[in-house]
């Protein structure tokens, strides 16, 4: 077992856990139930940790977390060649006509 990720927000940590699960990587959250007790007793240095079960999954898990959780730069908006509809850069397909963004669309 290896620690793969730490965050102070339980929602973010469980999002990371779910992303790993979608990629067939088993993990668990450590210190999840001690945080409320620590706050009550003034202990602020107990962090929420995400650990992977199988050490051989570490590099794949680190790559997934880096790509999925660390806010990547937004991609540029694009205009569909087929229907001339503007689309957000995060869309792989035109929201209006479902044509794929092949990279050759107008920007």
Q: pLDDT tens for residues 30-60?
A: 887 765 554 555 555 567 899 999 999 999 9
pTM: 0.57
DSSP 78-92: EE-TTT--EE-TT-S
Residue 100 DSSP symbol: B
Q: Are 87 and 80 in contact (CB under 8 A)?
A: yes
Token pair recorded at residue 54? 């199988």
Q: pLDDT tens for residues 46-101?
A: 678 999 999 999 999 999 988 887 666 778 899 999 999 999 988 889 999 999 99
């Amino acid at each position: 077992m290896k620690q793969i990720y730490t965050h102070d927000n339980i929602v973010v940590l469980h999002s990371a856990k779910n992303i790993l699960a979608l990629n067939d990587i088993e993990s668990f959250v450590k210190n999840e139930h001690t945080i409320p007790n620590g706050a009550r007793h003034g202990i602020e240095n107990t962090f929420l940790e995400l650990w992977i079960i199988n050490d051989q999954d570490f590099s794949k898990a680190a790559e997934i977390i880096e790509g999925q959780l660390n806010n990547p730069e937004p991609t540029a908006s694009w205009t569909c060649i087929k229907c001339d509809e503007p689309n957000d850069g995060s869309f792989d397909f035109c929201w209006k006509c479902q044509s794929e963004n092949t990279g050759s669309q107008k920007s």
